[in-house]
Amino acid sequence: MKRRNILIFTFIVIALLTLNSLFIFDNQDEIAEESDLVDKTQISSQKLFDNTWKIIRDNYYDAELNTQSWSRWRDHYHGKIKTDDDAKVAIDTMLASLNDPYSRFMNKEEYAEQNNSINSKITGIGVNIASTAGKIHIVNVMDGTPAQSANFMPDDIIFSVDGKEVNGLSLSEVANLVRGPENTSVNITILRDNNKISKRVIRKEIKIKTVKGSVIDKNIGYIQIISFVGSTTPNEFLEALEKTKDTDGLIIDLRGNTGGLLPNAVFIANLFIPSGNIVSIVGRGGYRYNIDAQDTEYTINKPTIVMVDGASASASEILSGALKDYKKAKLLGTKTYGKGMVQKILPMPNETGLNLTVAKYLTPNGVDINKKGINPDIKVELNIKDVKNNTDPQLQAAKTALSKDIISGNVNAKQ
């Protein structure tokens, strides 16, 4: 299924990290606090470039740095970096030479937005927006947010923010106009049915839910993991399990989930896998580190179907790969994306940040899925016609397959 060719933003945050978003921390067992992720040390822009150059040289997964002499970049930019903008352009150029789509340098604003996504804590009004034909329009309104209270609606066109017309501005520029401290107000003028409507809205902290759980067909638990980015994802998954505890089987929907934090995927996999290796991390020089299951008070033993597609990547593949290898679940849908590289978040001076590829990962069976993906056990396509007709043959197939597994399990239990 082709993705919509529009860029969607959550107001006051950039869109959640996509295919370059699998991160690890120095402490594998903890999610870092926001303060741990920001280096407020102020240094010269030239030194910022020099420090970044050295960190890449010493830590990048490929010690040969894409078969090039890394010193050429230090020599090329020596004495030429005057501002942090200069540093970013130079670092971006240097990173591009690695031919690695996942390593990226972020300026202060971009890095703050990434940290907001990780902490699932943002301040704004609570709408998703898109740019179509030069117009910024609202895609959807989040429940329980200031935007819902102010009666914003999908398809409203944003005309101005605090008197500044947004025509010709990028999505990020519009988002920056709307962003602001909690409990401050912003005046937004929209176009609805060619009528201008102005609304003054008080900005509030908005929690981004990454997991949704419900009961379908009376005896099936349906849990959708939208992203592994949020630090609250493990608790949200446990809440979804509690909501579906009386069901006979589970469907875990990872379609469109492009990744997130490594510890989140490991935590959820550990609920199904009580012992053994969950994922192997292979670092620079071939050093291999196995992340093993830990003792838990609860293990999921229900028949489970995991739904995947071509956008299921990174942390989604760690979870689905582990469950497939241990035969704890059947995968249904289409082949996953195939992102088997690991990035580490590196706080940099001047409140900037670097996501650097430091390793690759292998599934419990030692399979390298990078650029290959994981094939489902049950292949079911979802095409454009299905989307237009608001039908979901993959979900229907998952319910059918799971029902058969539930019946089979009940029969075996009685024998």
Rounded CA separation 310/1 (Å): 8
Split at pLDDT 50, 70, 90, the class of 18 is: very low
**pLDDT value at position 120?**
62
Lowest mean pLDDT among 48-62, 70-84, 106-120, 386-400: 106-120
304-308 and 249-253: which strand pairing?
A: parallel
Whether residue 12 is predicted with pLDDT greater than 70 in this model: the reply is no
Residue with tokens 């921390």: 25
pLDDT in the model for residue 11: 31
Contact 39, 52 (CB under 8 A): no
Predicted confidence (pLDDT) at residue 3 exceeds the cutoff of 70: no
- pLDDT greater than 90 at residue 30: no
Active site residue 360: no
Judge if 174 and 232 occupy the same domain: no
Question: Of 148, 175, 204, which residue sits at a domain end?
Answer: 204
Same domain, 64 and 84: yes
Residue 4, domain member (yes or no) = no
In a domain, 2, yes or no: no
Per-residue b/e over 329-345, b at no fewer than 16 CB within 10 Å? bbbbbbbbbbbbbbbbb
Q: Which residues contact 48 (CB under 8 A, 6 or more apart)?
A: 81, 84, 87, 348, 349, 350, 352
Query: What's the predicted TM-score (pTM) here?
Result: 0.74
Task: Classify each residue of 112-148 as buried b or exposed e, where b means 16 or more C-beta atoms within 10 Å of its C-beta.
Answer: bbbbbbbbbbbbbbbbbbbbeeeebbbbbbbeebbbe
Query: Residue 244: what residue type?
Result: T
Predicted pLDDT of residue 31: 31
Position 9 in a domain: no
Above pLDDT 70, what percent of the chain?
A: 89
Q: Are residues 217 and 247 in the same domain?
A: yes
Is 170 a residue of the active site? Answer: no
Q: Is the pLDDT of residue 252 over 90?
A: yes
One domain, residues 266 and 388:
yes
User: Which of 41-45, 73-77, 149-153, 406-410 shows the lowest per-residue confidence on average (mean pLDDT)?
Assistant: 406-410
pLDDT tens column, 295-317: 988 899 999 999 999 989 999 99
Answer yes or no: is pLDDT of 121 > 70: no
| Average pLDDT score, the chain | 86
- Which is the catalytic residue, given 325, 330, 344, 405? 325
Pair (66, 135) in one structural domain = no
Whether 75 is catalytic is no
Greatest distance between any 2 Cα atoms in the chain = 78
What's the token pair of residue 270? 């550990």
**In this structure, how many other beta carbons lie within 10 angstroms of the beta carbon of residue 284?**
14
Lowest mean pLDDT of 1-10, 77-86, 149-158, 217-226, name the range.
1-10
* Predicted confidence (pLDDT) at residue 191 exceeds the cutoff of 50: yes
**Do residues 324 and 273 touch, judged by C-beta distance below 8 A?**
no
* Mean pLDDT, range 87-116, rounded to an integer: 92
Statement: residue 51 has pLDDT above 70: yes
- pLDDT digit string (tens) for 322-378? 999 999 999 999 999 999 999 999 999 999 999 999 999 999 999 999 999 999 999
The pLDDT tens digits of the residues spanning 193-229 come to 989 999 999 999 887 788 999 999 999 999 999 889 8
The active-site residue out of 21, 103, 314, 316 is 314
Considering the domain architecture, whether residues 217 and 194 belong to the same structural domain is answered as no
Which neighbouring-strand residues pair with 102? none
Amino acid 23 reads F
Cα angle value 144/150/152 (rounded, 5°): 90
pLDDT tens digit string along 255-294? 988 888 899 999 999 999 999 999 999 999 899 999 999 9
Q: Is residue 7, in this structure, part of any structural domain at all?
A: no
- Residue at which a domain ends, from 170, 204, 238: 204
Same domain, 62 and 181: no
Same domain, 106 and 251: yes
Is residue 278 located within the same domain as residue 387? yes
Question: Are the C-beta atoms of residues 188 and 158 closer than 8 Å to each other?
Answer: yes
- Tell me, yes or no, whether 11 lies in a domain: no
* Residue 368 shares a structural domain with residue 219: yes
> Is the same domain home to 308 and 334?
yes
Q: Which of 330, 339, 344, 399 is catalytic?
A: 339
Q: Could you tell me the residue range of the domain that residue 153 belongs to?
A: 121-204
Say whether both 98 and 160 belong to one domain.
no
CATH number, domain with residue 63: 3.90.226.10
Domain count, the chain: 2
